[in-house]
Amino acid sequence: MIFIIISSVVFLDQTTKFLATKFLQLNTPLPLIKNFFNLTLVHNRGAAFGMFQNQVFMFLWISIFAIALIICCLRDKKNSFNFKISLSLILGGAVGNLIDRARFGFVIDFLDFRVWPVFNCADSVITIAAILLTWELLFKKNAA
């Protein structure tokens, strides 16, 4: 189950990024919902909100370390099912963005809600999983 979740997230992320690079022009918004939602292909050379620009090797090592830590947590039989699901989603998103950084030196982003920095499917999954993980850790007994 965990492997299916991770590979599904990576597949979704990489497929949508492939389609974005194939059909969108760099830094040129394609409005889908006027004044609300665009598809805008950008190359994010930083972290969240574009911080720490052009620190590719730092991001690669941090990602590898985080992935290794998540794998260790996933292997621990004491962790709850929901905790492992959340970590699996985060791992899938981290791997998706790591693939971009390793291949291109930047992360491909394309979802643009105009009031928030442009992001991608991996970022969305990581955010949702972080919320689920926080809920699990704060409100469930024996979560981790």
Show me where the domains of the chain are located: 2-20+37-139
Q: Structure tokens of 69?
A: 């830590």
Q: Would you say 21 and 28 are in contact if contact means Cβ atoms under 8 Å apart?
A: no
Given 13, 100, 112, 123, the catalytic residue:
123
pLDDT at 144: 55
The burial of 47, by beta-carbon neighbours within 10 Å (0-12 exposed, 13-18 middle, 19 or more buried), is given as middle
Q: Where are the beta strands (DSSP E) in 20-127?
A: 30-33, 37-44, 107-112
Question: Does residue 76 carry a catalytic annotation?
Answer: no
Given 13, 100, 109, 112, the catalytic residue:
109
- In which residue are the tokens 């194939």 written? 22
Q: What are 69-89's pLDDT values in tens digits? A: 999 999 998 888 999 999 999
Q: What are 10-38's pLDDT values in tens digits? A: 999 999 999 999 999 999 999 999 999 99
Encode 67-103: b = buried (16+ Cβ within 10 Å), e = exposed: eeebeeebeeeebeeebbbbbbbbbbbbbbbbbbbee
Q: What are 44-66's pLDDT values in tens digits? A: 987 766 666 667 788 888 889 99
